[in-house]
Every structure is written in structure tokens, then in C-alpha cells.
Amino acid sequence: MKNNQYNTSLIQSIFKADYIGFFSDRTVESLIAQMHGWQNNGVDEERELLISMKEMLTIVENEISN
């Protein structure tokens, strides 16, 4: 697990310089909407993976104890 290698200070400065401009830009809004969609899908896939991993762990633990 790692945090993304963003230049956070640069991003913050972009927002602080003109966050009102950011929220007036419909292109950016559309991109953020797409990003939100991908994030949602990503979290759903991650939850499915977690369920699968938990099932595997249960089976493995049962097999080890038998």
C-alpha cells in the first residue's frame, strides 16, 4: 500500500490560486464525474476481492486445522 506520488503542494497551490475557477469549469466537472465513477467501480471491485480473500482464508484455515 502506498500513497500516490502526487506533488501535493503543487496541487494545493493550483486550487488555492483559483478554486473558484476550478468549480466553474464544466470540463473539469465532467472529468471529476468520470473519476468518481471509476472510484466507485474500483471500490466495488475491491470489496468483491476482499470477500473472495476472506472466503479463501476461511477455507485455508479449515484445511489447516483438519
- Nearest-approach distance from CB 4 to another protein, in angstroms: 5
- Nearest-approach distance from CB 48 to another protein, in angstroms: 7
C-alpha cell at 10: 503543487
- Nearest-approach distance from CB 13 to another protein, in angstroms: 10
Closest residue by Cα to residue 28 from 44, 14, 43: 14
Report the distance separating Cα 28 and Cα 19, nearest Å.
12
Q: Is residue 22 a contact partner of residue 15, using CB atoms and an 8 Å limit?
A: yes
Residues that bind another protein (CB under 8 A): 1-4, 6, 8, 11-12, 14-25, 27-29, 31-36, 38-50, 52-57, 59-61, 63-64
